[in-house]
């Protein structure tokens, strides 16, 4: 149960039962981000146009890669939401990535 969190179907499909992912910079296996225990702002930031999630730590980078948080469809959705004034979230802590 501690591995469950709300997420979109795409992210959930990529996460499945994973609790670790590979940091693309170091190649090391790292624990994936846990939204119940960690701060989003510590591990992630937005790209300058607010369409891509940037991993700031090894945990963040591994999570971005493992969940494929910057899939084309998700990036396009963020672009549209930004244009409509609905993205990024005001507190910068999305309920899902």
| Spatial distance between the Cα atoms of 29 and 81, rounded to a whole number of angstroms | 33
Whether 2 maps to a domain, the answer reads no
The tally of domains found in the chain comes to 1
pTM recorded for the entire structure: 0.84
**In angstroms, what CA-CA distances link 73 with 19, 22, 32, 70, 79?**
24, 23, 22, 8, 10
Would you write out the chain's pLDDT as a tens digit for each of its 97 residues? 565 556 677 666 667 788 999 999 999 999 999 988 999 999 999 999 999 999 999 999 999 999 999 999 999 999 999 999 999 987 655 555 5
- The CA-to-CA distance between both ends of the chain, in Å, stands at 19
Q: Which domain holds residue 22?
A: 9-83
Say if 90 falls within a structural domain.
no
Residue ranges of the alpha helices (H) in 1-97? 9-15, 40-43, 58-67, 72-83
Considering the domain boundaries, does residue 61 fall inside one?
A: yes
Q: What are the backbone dihedrals phi and psi of residue 76, each rounded to the nearest 5 degrees, phi first?
A: -65, -40
């Amino acid at each position: 149960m501690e591995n469950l969190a709300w997420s979109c179907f795409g992210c959930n499909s990529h996460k499945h039962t994973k609790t670790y992912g590979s940091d693309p910079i170091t190649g090391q296996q790292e624990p994936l981000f846990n939204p119940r225990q960690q701060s989003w702002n510590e591990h992630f930031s937005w790209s300058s146009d607010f369409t891509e999630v940037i991993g700031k730590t090894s945990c963040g980078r591994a999570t971005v890669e493992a969940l494929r948080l910057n899939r084309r469809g998700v990036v396009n959705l963020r672009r549209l939401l930004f244009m409509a004034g609905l993205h990024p979230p005001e507190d910068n802590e999305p309920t899902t990535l």
